């Protein structure tokens, strides 16, 4: 194995290039988290050019479907990544993602945007998402947490880069041309970075590294997927994951529209505040990215149940603050930073909890099923906020309901997030 070369370098050095490539791929894939920025000009296009009056719920549907198809497609791709390798699958995903963004430029209504953007783009992200993550994990048995954490950081941090880019393109070139440019750009980025992805040879390990003896010790009891679904712990984790991602994805989907509502309550016009609200996506995205290692550390130190209790407490306080102070930009900024942080947090809590409660023997299939809660959270959260806008006239009206769901999360976490007992 000493003769193995990676990109012309010693694999111990070359593997960091794979992490960088994976991070960049995830930045392109995570552009969906800037949907609240493109939603506003697309809605104006539907109103002014096509004479439509789309409801808030209708404008959330493309975002909902995108995330739902992502959540449903991703768990299905494991066998194909193993069979065909991460490079081919990532390239396929990049092409589909690019087509989704490009096709969105031809949408003439929210429903057509659902199919041209939500369905195609969501499937594309689901195809490509796991390729760089699995690759990083294979090349870093000695630093798997760090390597995978840096790789997925790109997805959470994406909106900080893609948000301002989208805002600039929309203002300079219009909605349709911008979506076409983004489609070509994202496809090119993913394909180019995917070209370096490859698995290490069977049995390869970094020079001088040996698996720690503790790894050979019997871990927690392993549950196969059919055994996992018979436990109360699974259902508690799935519902908690749904609530946690619901709050975060809801916030991501309407960050800018809610900011415009707050500004209107203060008496500030959209023209005056728009650039500032777009700029706020940068710190929000940083919170999303930082939430992953932060809550990963909390899970390691305090165990899954306490990490979940901390998250739901933050979500409850943030939701109530947003409802009680609808005319404060400072409160808006803090609240949305907390909600974006907690979305990143649950993307660390859930996989860590799955491994802690159900072992690692059938982890890929187990977490694939748990991850469907992400799609459920996307659907419920964004339907909730869209309906709040349509019925009560304000997105902010959704936040008391989120607070109630956070209380439900606290109860479920305290009672059900405990190691299950395997029946023999």
- Residue by residue, pLDDT tens for the chain (424 residues) are 446 788 888 888 899 999 999 999 999 999 998 898 899 899 999 999 999 999 999 999 999 999 999 999 988 888 899 889 999 999 999 999 999 999 999 999 999 999 999 999 999 999 999 899 888 888 888 877 678 778 888 888 898 899 899 989 998 999 999 999 999 999 999 999 999 999 988 888 888 777 766 444 444 578 998 999 999 999 999 999 999 999 999 999 899 999 999 999 999 998 899 889 989 988 999 999 888 888 888 888 888 999 999 999 999 999 999 999 999 999 999 999 999 999 999 988 998 888 889 887 787 788 888 999 999 999 999 999 999 999 999 999 999 999 999 999 999 999 999 999 877 6
- The yes or no reply on domain 222-418 and CATH 1.20.1250.20 is yes
Q: pLDDT at position 217, please? A: 47
Q: pLDDT at position 60, please? A: 92
- What's the CA gap between 280 and 299, in Å, rounded? 28
From first CA to last CA, the distance across the chain in angstroms is 42
- What's the CA gap between 399 and 379, in Å, rounded? 16
Q: pLDDT at position 251, please? A: 92
Domain spans in the chain, listed from the N-terminal domain onward:
9-204, 222-418
Q: pLDDT at position 365, please? A: 81
Q: pLDDT at position 185, please? A: 97
Pick the CATH number of 9-204 from 1.20.1250.20, 3.30.1490.190, 3.90.79.10, 3.40.50.1000: 1.20.1250.20
Other C-beta atoms closer than 10 Å to the C-beta of 28 total 27
- Tokens 């490009």 label which residue? 102
Joined tokens for residue 98 = 């690019």
Q: pLDDT at position 311, please? A: 97
User: What is this structure's pTM?
Assistant: 0.84
Cα atoms found within 13 Å of the Cα of residue 40, Cβ hemisphere only: 22
Phi, psi of 9 (to 5 degrees): -120, 165
Same fold, 9-204 and 222-418: yes
Full DSSP string of 245-308? HHHHHHHHHTHHHHHHHHHHHHT--HHHHHHHHHHHHHHHHHHHHHHHHHHHHHHHHHHHHHHH
> What is the DSSP code (8-state) at residue 141?
S
Bridge partners of residue 6, in order along the sequence: 9
């Amino acid at each position: 194995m000493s003769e193995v070369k990676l990109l012309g370098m010693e694999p111990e050095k070359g593997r960091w290039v794979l992490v960088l490539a994976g991070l960049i791929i995830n930045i392109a894939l995570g552009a969906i988290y800037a949907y609240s920025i493109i939603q506003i000009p697309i809605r104006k296009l539907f109103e002014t050019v096509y004479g439509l009056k789309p409801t808030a719920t209708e404008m959330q549907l493309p975002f909902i479907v995108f995330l739902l198809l992502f959540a449903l497609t991703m768990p299905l791709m494991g066998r194909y990544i193993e069979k065909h390798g991460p490079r081919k699958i990532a390239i396929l995903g990049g092409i589909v993602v690019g087509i989704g963004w490009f096709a969105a430029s031809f949408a003439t209504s929210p429903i057509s945007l659902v199919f041209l953007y939500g369905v195609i783009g969501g499937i594309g992200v689901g195809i490509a998402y796991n390729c760089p993550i699995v690759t990083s994990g294979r090349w870093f048995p000695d630093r798997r947490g760090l390597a995978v954490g840096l790789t997925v950081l790109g997805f959470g941090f994406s909106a900080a880069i893609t948000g301002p880019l989208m805002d600039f393109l929309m203002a300079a070139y219009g909605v349709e041309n911008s979506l076409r440019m983004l489609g070509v750009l994202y496809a090119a980025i993913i394909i180019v970075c995917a070209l370096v992805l490859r698995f290490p040879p069977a049995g390869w390990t970094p020079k001088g590294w040996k698996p720690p003896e503790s790894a050979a010790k019997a871990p927690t009891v392993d549950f196969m997927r059919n055994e996992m679904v018979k436990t109360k712990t699974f259902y508690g984790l799935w519902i908690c994951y749904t609530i946690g991602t619901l709050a975060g994805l809801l916030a991501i989907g309407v960050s800018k529209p809610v900011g415009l509502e707050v500004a209107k309550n203060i008496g500030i016009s959209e023209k005056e505040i728009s650039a500032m609200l777009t700029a706020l996506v940068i710190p929000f995205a940083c919170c999303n990215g930082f939430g992953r290692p932060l809550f990963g550390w909390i899970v390691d130190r305090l165990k899954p149940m306490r990490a979940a209790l901390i998250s739901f407490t933050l979500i409850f306080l943030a939701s109530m603050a947003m409802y009680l102070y609808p005319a404060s930009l400072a409160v808006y900024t803090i609240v949305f930073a907390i909600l974006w942080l907690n979305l990143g947090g649950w993307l660390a809590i859930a996989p860590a909890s799955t491994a802690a409660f159900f072992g690692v023997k059938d982890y890929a299939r187990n977490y694939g099923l748990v991850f469907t809660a992400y799609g459920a959270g996307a659907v419920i959260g964004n339907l909730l906020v869209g309906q709040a806008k349509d019925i009560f006239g304000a997105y902010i009206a959704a936040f008391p309901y989120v607070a109630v769901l956070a209380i439900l999360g606290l109860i479920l976490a305290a009672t059900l997030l405990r190691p299950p007992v395997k029946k023999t």
